[in-house]
Each structure stands twice: as structure tokens, then as C-alpha cells.
Structure 1
């Protein structure tokens, strides 16, 4: 289960914080680190020192320029959020998130991204809207600021505890060992699948006049929240995209060919 978890850091500005995150991950058995547009050095004396023996995670970390690229193959994306947003999103505590992982990881090809934002400003609204859910660490309201590595440590600890409970449960239950993952047609849609769907959906809604990009009224953000909450399977997403394609064709056929110049 822990091998299915990817820690994603966006716009990290201090190499020492990346090293501290690597140490926190290695402590808890996580080894998949992805960096999105880091604002400074990734591997230097400070990051290696703070990693305290976990610097191999720094050397194997994947660096991307966008969040979409970093989590393209992920079936569940959870963003760390320190504050409420104008548009409410499913919110989990680290323990609630960890409790979901055993079932999530039964899915064939499942991969979960734990996304953490910049040290000074966290995740943007656009980045949070790309997440299925948000995880919030219930800190002291009078002093809620957490060091990046400390935040990763808290979430990773809860994930490890869920894994340990799963291991203990498997040891005492033969039927759980015999469980098979769902059939391939029941696989969850990946982040990349969903982003292609959202682009297709927005284009179709604009074509039929339901959506005006100049006056969006949070329409696409609300639709994102709906579909991310629903967690569609790949086969279901293919059906939805087929409907969009048929809708575009019907509108085009009704309008007829464009006038010849």
C-alpha cells in the first residue's frame, strides 16, 4: 500500500525543506517523491544534510513543471489545505484519509498522490480544484503554521499506521489474501483521463451555449467537484465522453455546413 503513495511538492523554495520531506517519507516507508517547478536547488549540501540518510529519495525524485504532469497516472489526488476556500470541497483529516487507503489500493493500477503546496502560500485554488479531496491537519487555531516536512510527517504517519493495521489484519485472515482486485473495466479513471474529460466537457458546454468562458460563474469548478466526488471508472468516463462527442455531432449536423466564402 505504501508503494502506491506519491508525495508531490509544488513550488518548494528551500532545498532543506525537500531534504526534510525525504527524511519524513523514509521514516514512514514512502519512497515516491515528485517535485513540481521547484524554486531553487533540489540537491545541495543543505538538502542532503536535512535528509539525514534519505538522500537517495532526492536523487530519484521526478521533477515536473506542472501538477497535471506529476499526477497524470494517479487515481486519487489529495491536496493539503490549511484553510477553507470559497467553494467547499470534500475535506478529510489525515486519519480519515489513511482509513480510505486499503480500499483505494485494492483497485488495479491505483496510485495516490499526496500534494503539498508552497511554504509561503500553499496550494492555489486551481491546484486544489484538481484534487479529489483535501486533507487538513487540525492544528492549534492560534498557531496553525506547520513546517512542510512536519506536515508530510503527520500525513505519512497516519498512512503507515493504516498499513500496519492492514498487515495485522491480513496475517489473521486467509480470505483477505485471496481477494482479487476489481476487473480492468472497473479501474478508476486516472487524473489524466479526468483532465481530458473536463477539457472535452467545457468545449461541449461552450459549443451548445450553456457555458460562457467570459462569465464562468464557477461552473467548471462546481462540475469538477461533482465528478471528482463521484470517482468515475474508466469505462464510465468513456461513456460520458461518447455522449459529449454525440452532442457535438448533433449540434454540428443541425447547424449544417458553414457558408462557403
Structure 2
């Protein structure tokens, strides 16, 4: 092997090693950004199961409970947990509030917020969407902390947490139950926790411009056959161009429309031919 080949091989090996380290780092960061979920003094096992299920839905596995009720395998929590009964719920860890504060970047959840900066415990606060964007930049263990069913987190607890999050709801009744709040918030954080979903690829490949222009030609023929006045046809042609421009149709969609207007134009042409042959009046034109 020549010196040049040795150099090329060495560079390729270095690049491959760097790529592997970058991939490993990215995976580590992704794992670190997945928050743990903490529930402080939940009153009913059913809510614990509901939260575990929401965690399973949105790619989270680490559940921590502060002073929980007794969780029995044949009880309400496991009944509400769905497939989370297989891993999230049985692996839930009982911790203290102090341990959570000491070891995590913490986000407290609350329905009742401060109206201005005089309420330091509950203001400022983020919505779930704002929290998602904020946490994208946090490379630290993070805990989403939910409070009690009836009272939530109190001011003293919130004052010890790093951030506050609140779900926007109707002012007449802004309080969600514990399971609902967890489901909504974890759904909004899914970009940080879920790599792939059950939904198919939603990326749309726009039809080739030549096919789109063929459609516009067919549509122009169709408009001409309707007997509309020229300025009306021009306006309708422009409206169709704007509509199709916003829609970004796929190749299959455009081909289906081409087939439809091809047949429509052929029928209209045949009708005009028959009208002329039998001296019938043509399709009525606007006056």
C-alpha cells in the first residue's frame, strides 16, 4: 500500500471514529433530555396508573413517586396503566421531594398562576409548547413534577423548583384533573421523547410542474367550454392556480384531476359537435 493510500485509510478511520463518537454523544444527549416524571403525594392509585400510561404513550419510562398510596399488582393503578403495567409502573421508584430538587432540573406544574411578577412562586410560567422549546437547550437531568389531585403543588414547593408550567384552559374552569394534565403536557413534549410514531410519513412530494401546467391547460379548456365571459374565465383560472399552489398536490392527485378534466372536456367537445351537426343551439353563453 502506498503512503497516499495509508493516509487516505487513516483519514477514513479517523472520520469513522469521529462519526461514531458523535452518534454516541447524540444518543446520550437524547437520553438525558428525556425527563423523569414525579408525582407528589398522589391520593389514588388510579391516577398513578393513568400517568404511567401517558408516559408509555409518549416515550417516557422513569416514574418517581413522593409518598404514594399503596400500589398493588391487582389493584386500580395496574388496571389503569395499560401496557405501562409491564415496565413503567413496576419500575416506579419512591423518592423524597428533597431528592428530586437536589438531583434534577425541575419543572413544577400548576393550574393557578400569578398574574404578574409580584407572585414569584407562580410567575413567570411557561405553556407546554414554550417548555418544550426551552428544554431543547437543557442538557441536564430534568424532572416534570405533578402535585396532588385536589391541591396541586403548594407555593413553598413551587418556590424550590426551577421552572413553572401551566396548561392554558378556559378561564371559567382552568383546572384539569391529574391524569389529563399529565397527558396533555407529555403530548406536547413528545418531540423530546419520541423518535418515531405510528403515523405514516407525512412529507408530501409535489407533483412535477409539467403535470401541474398540463392540468391548468385542461382547466382552461374546460372554462372555455362553459361559455363564461373572458374576464370571468381569467379570474377563475387565476383562482385555481392560487388554490393549487397552496395545496402542493401530489403526482397521483394531479393525474387523477387530469383524467377527470380530460374526460369532461371530451364530453363537452362531443356535445358541441352534436349541437352543430343537428343545428341545435350551443351551450348557452353569458351575455
TM range (shorter): 0.5 to 0.7
User: 2:97 aligns to what?
Assistant: 67
Instruction: Tell me, in whole angstroms, the C-alpha distance in 2 between the residues paired with 1:150 and 1:49.
Output: 17
Deviation at 1:145, TM superposition (A): 2.2
- TM-score scaled by length of structure 2: 0.52
Higher relative contact order (CA 8 A, sep 6+): 1
Q: Does 1:115 align with 2:148?
A: no
Deviation at 1:164, TM superposition (A): 5.9
Question: Which among 177, 190, 201 is matched to residue 160 of structure 1?
Answer: 190
Instruction: Tell me, in whole angstroms, the C-alpha distance in 2 between the residues paired with 1:62 and 1:143.
Output: 33
User: 2:127 aligns to what?
Assistant: 93
SS at match of 2:153: coil
> Does the 8 A contact of 2:58 with 2:193 survive in 1?
no
Deviation at 1:34, TM superposition (A): 0.5
SS at match of 2:136: helix
> Does the 8 A contact of 1:89 with 1:133 survive in 2?
no
Deviation at 1:144, TM superposition (A): 1.8
SS at match of 1:72: helix
Instruction: Tell me, in whole angstroms, the C-alpha distance in 2 between the residues paired with 1:58 and 1:165.
Output: 22
Question: Which among 111, 132, 141 is matched to residue 82 of structure 1?
Answer: 111
Deviation at 1:77, TM superposition (A): 0.6
The equivalences for 1:175-190 within 5 A come to none
Q: Deviations over 1:79-111 (max 9, x none)?
A: 001112543533100000001222113xxxx11
> Does the 8 A contact of 2:59 with 2:193 survive in 1?
no
Gapped regions of structure 1 (runs ≥ 5): 167-261
Instruction: Tell me, in whole angstroms, the C-alpha distance in 2 between the residues paired with 1:60 and 1:165.
Output: 22
Question: Which among 37, 41, 50 is matched to residue 20 of structure 1?
Answer: 50
Instruction: Tell me, in whole angstroms, the C-alpha distance in 1 between the residues paired with 2:111 and 2:142.
Output: 20
Question: Which among 34, 41, 48 is matched to residue 78 of structure 2?
Answer: 48
Q: Number of residue pairs matched?
A: 160
Instruction: Tell me, in whole angstroms, the C-alpha distance in 1 between the residues paired with 2:194 and 2:48.
Output: 26
> Does the 8 A contact of 1:43 with 1:59 survive in 2?
no
Q: Deviations over 1:198-239 (max 9, x none)?
A: xxxxxxxxxxxxxxxxxxxxxxxxxxxxxxxxxxxxxxxxxx
Instruction: Tell me, in whole angstroms, the C-alpha distance in 1 between the residues paired with 2:170 and 2:123.
Output: 22
Instruction: Tell me, in whole angstroms, the C-alpha distance in 2 between the residues paired with 1:46 and 1:37.
Output: 17
| RMSD over equivalenced CA pairs, Å | 2.2
Q: Deviations over 1:93-152 (max 9, x none)?
A: 0000001222113xxxx1111000000100011110111110000011112221211111
Moved over 6 A (4+): none
Greater Rg over alpha carbons, structure? 2
Q: Deviations over 1:161-199 (max 9, x none)?
A: 355699xxxxxxxxxxxxxxxxxxxxxxxxxxxxxxxxx
SS at match of 2:90: helix
Pair 1:164–1:14, CA change in 2 (3 A):
closer
- TM-score scaled by length of structure 1: 0.57
Gapped regions of structure 2 (runs ≥ 5): 1-29, 197-287
> Does the 8 A contact of 2:62 with 2:88 survive in 1?
yes
